[in-house]
Chains A and B, each alone.
Chain A
Amino acid sequence: MIEAVGLAKTFGTEVHAVRGVSFRVAAGEVVGLLGPNGAGKTTTMRMLSTLERPTGGTATVAGHDLLRDARGVRKVIGLVAQAGGTRPIATARDELVLQARLHRLPAPETRAREMIDAFDLAGLADRPSATLSGGQRRRLDLAIGLVHRPSVVFLDEPTAALDPPSRLELWAHLRQLRERTGATVMISTHHLDEADSLCDRVLILDHGRIVAEDSPAALKRELGADVITLDPGPDPERARDVVAALPGVQRVHAAAGEVRIGCANAEELLAPTVLALHRAGVEVRGLSVGRPSLDDVFLARTVPARAR
């Protein structure tokens, strides 16, 4: 459904936002684009949705060539941009009807009503969008992007700046989107748990390159299911060497004031870790157990490349 070959974007002569990415997305697949700010996620999405002209490479979206048939691409894609795209004084109904008309749908008002119901906007449909909450506006953005039943949907950080309940609510809508329409979806995000919860596969971007491409489950398997974070005091390197020798430890990363340990089961490893460090003369000052984060994926995937 999406095929990118060496897609690149350089702004001016200095800023290499995307440095030649190649990937394929199958029909009906939900793919996550993961990476920190500045990794090239948004630029990649903007290129694929015809907003930004690539300075290198090619891509086809739903069979339409990005450069030669931008209009063909625009007919079959939906983009939910980070900024949204609703005017403060326009209502949800205004925006949905307009979008339906721009796509030449046969009954714009009816279609707008359907979307209003599907995205729980019934009580809000005739209020200016400026008066909607962040979560409500995001649902509206999503409804606008999907009004013409696109076969490929791009969602640029759809849950950024949402509170946890709104985030879960949006996730539910995104899952429904997949079940109901079978659309191919590309989601960019900072959050590994989001990719984990929604995506079949993730592409990890760093400095404009794809540094990893795998299913969320495989990525986590590699990192360990749990991450223990502890404060080893003044000598994290020594703590790292001690911990790395323990059985059950899959990965250790040391930084100033922090050691992160990837493992399959943190509960089993907590006591041995603290005891081993104590015997080695390292007093643990603080300790927490969590799930692998994007940081962990990043540290695991990008450190070797930088050390080269």
Chain B
Amino acid sequence: MSPVTDVLIVFRDELTLALRTKIALAVGLVQPFLYLLLFGPLLGGADRWLFLVPGLLLQLGLFGTGFAGFGLIPDIRAGFVERLRVTPVSRLAILLGRVLKDAVVLVGQAVPLVLAGCLLGLRADPLGVLAAVLLVLITGVALASLSYVLALALPNEYLFAPVVTTAAVPLMLLSGILLPLDDAPLWLDVLAHLNPLLYVVDAARALFAGNAGAPAGLGFAVAGGLAVVSFAAGSRLFGRRTA
């Protein structure tokens, strides 16, 4: 009864259910596609797609994966989580299997977005795009975990959606997803550099452009650190809420 198998069992089950609701997956793509089609042409410069597409991947994470916690609440209420806790499955696997599902769904949504970008004129480094997808996966783990932290920590579920939306907007603006932060006043620049997602977006852009240098490494380090810390916090809260 290895814990790795436990994680895979939960992951496989959750992913099967998620893939069955294809409508939900498609609806999640509507927003970034709208930005791609209606906002992309407004950006100037030949490398505008190299700028916009990596940013939209993160936007997808913020407004899609960021809501992952929403799905946990009804499952706790339905007694599903307790049902798993009465089986010999590893306690950690119950949450980790879910988080991995959320991250994989994010990657699955990222692929059509990148392809659409290519159709519009995105010319990106293929290996760099692959590395960026890995980065998106790690960031997905971080964002899903943070979402579970919120779902478990908030006193009631009605608060969840407004809190996530309110948190996601400044995180999006302060990571330069839609507009470059180059001309930002000092205070805004400082604020942006406190946002871990800024480093992730910078790294994704660098990778798309084929630069595997320091910004890319920093992005991986920040995403990995955020993933570890937020998953640890999530599983701690999860243990307390459902113990």
Contacts and interface: CB of A to CB of B under 8 A. Distances in A.
Interface of A: 49-51, 53, 71, 74-75, 77-79, 81-90, 94, 97-99, 101-104, 144
B13 interface: yes
Given A79-B83, A82-B79, A85-B82, 18 more contacts: A49-B86, A71-B88, A77-B86, A81-B82, A83-B78, A83-B82, A84-B78, A86-B83, A87-B17, A87-B74, A87-B75, A89-B21, A94-B16, A98-B9, A99-B83, A102-B6, A103-B88, A104-B1
B156 interface: no
B13 A98 contact: yes
A87 B80 contact: yes
- Interface range, B side: 20 to 34
Interface of B: 1, 5-6, 9, 13, 16-17, 20-21, 74-75, 77-80, 82-89, 243
B74 to A, nearest CB: 7
Contacts of A86: 78, 80, 83
A242 B19 CA distance: 72
Nearest to A74: B88
Nearest to A81: B79
A288 to B, nearest CB: 38
Contacts of B16: 94
Contacts of B13: 94, 97-98, 101
In the complex, the 3 A-B pairs of residues with the closest C-beta atoms, listed nearest first: A85-B83, A83-B79, A85-B79
A75 B74 CA distance: 26
B84 A102 contact: yes
A89 B79 contact: no
Given A50-B86, A74-B88, A102-B87, A94 B17 contact: yes
A94 B78 CA distance: 16
A161 B4 CA distance: 39
24 contacts: A50-B86, A51-B86, A53-B243, A74-B86, A74-B87, A78-B86, A79-B83, A79-B86, A81-B79, A82-B79, A83-B79, A85-B79, A87-B74, A87-B80, A88-B78, A89-B17, A94-B13, A94-B16, A98-B9, A99-B83, A99-B87, A102-B89, A103-B88, A104-B1
